[in-house]
Copies of this chain bind each other. A is one copy, B any other.
Amino acid sequence: MKINLKIASIVIIGTLATACSNPENEKVTKPDKNELTEIFPKGQKGSSETFTGNAYNVGLVDPDSVLTTAVGNVYFEPGARSNWHSHPAGQILIITDGVGYHQIEGQPIEILKKGSVIKCPPNVRHWHGASANVGLQQLYIVPNTEKGIVNWQEAVTDEVYKGAK
C-alpha cells in the first residue's frame, strides 16, 4: 500500500510537471514572436506585378475630393516587399507591429518596427516590406491624392533585399 502511494505520488508529480512544461501550454502563454497583432481585416493579396512574396492590402479610407487622403493597411508576410515605386504627393508609413525595411533610393535601408514612422517625399523612389523572418503590419497614408497616388516600377531584387540583413 505504501509502495502504491509512492507510485501514485510519482505519477501525479509527473503529470503536473508535464502540464507545466508542455510546449503546447507555452504556446498559449507566450505567443509566437511571428504572430502579429491584427487590427484591420487582412484584405486582398497584392499582385505579383507590384509585390514580391505575399502582401495583403486593405483600404481604410478611399481618396475623395474633400479629405484628398488615402489610408490603408498592408500586411507583409516574412520576405515580402513592394516593388520600387513613387508617390506624386509623397507617403507616410506608420508601423503597428512586426519587423521590416524601408529604403529611399540611394539611401541606407532603415529598420521598421512597432511605432516606426516614415515620411517619403513626393516623386522619390522607395520600397518597403517585411524582414526575412518576421512579418510587418504597416499603415500607409497618401496625402493630396488629387496629384495622384502611386507610380509602380520594377521589383526589388534579392540582392538589394538581402542588403538589409
Interface residues, chain A, with chain B CB atoms under 8 Å away = 2, 5-6, 9-10, 12-13, 16-17, 19-20, 25, 28-29, 37, 39-41, 60-61, 66-69, 71, 89-90, 92, 94, 96-97, 114-115, 117, 119, 121-122, 139, 141, 143-144
- Closest B residue to A89 by beta carbon equals B67
Which of B40, B69, B144 lies in contact with A141, CB distance below 8 A? B69
When A and B form their complex, which 4 residue pairs have the shortest distance between CB atoms, in order from nearest? A16-B16, A9-B9, A69-B143, A29-B29
Nearest CB on B from A57, distance (A): 15
With most chain B CB atoms within 10 A of its CB, the pick from A25, A66, A122 is: A66
Nearest CB on B from A32, distance (A): 15
Collect the chain B residues with CB atoms within 8 Å of residue A17's CB. Answer: 16
CA distance A46 to B132 in the complex (A): 40
Q: Contacts A6-B9, A115-B41, A143-B143; is A71 near B96 (CB within 8 Å)?
A: no
Which of B13, B68, B97 lies in contact with A12, CB distance below 8 A? B13
CA distance A119 to B20 in the complex (A): 48
Collect the chain B residues with CB atoms within 8 Å of residue A40's CB. Answer: 115
Can you spell out 10 A-B residue pairs with CB atoms less than 8 angstroms apart?
A16-B16, A39-B96, A40-B115, A61-B92, A61-B117, A67-B144, A69-B69, A71-B92, A71-B117, A141-B141
Nearest CB on B from A93, distance (A): 10
Collect the chain B residues with CB atoms within 8 Å of residue A97's CB. Answer: 39
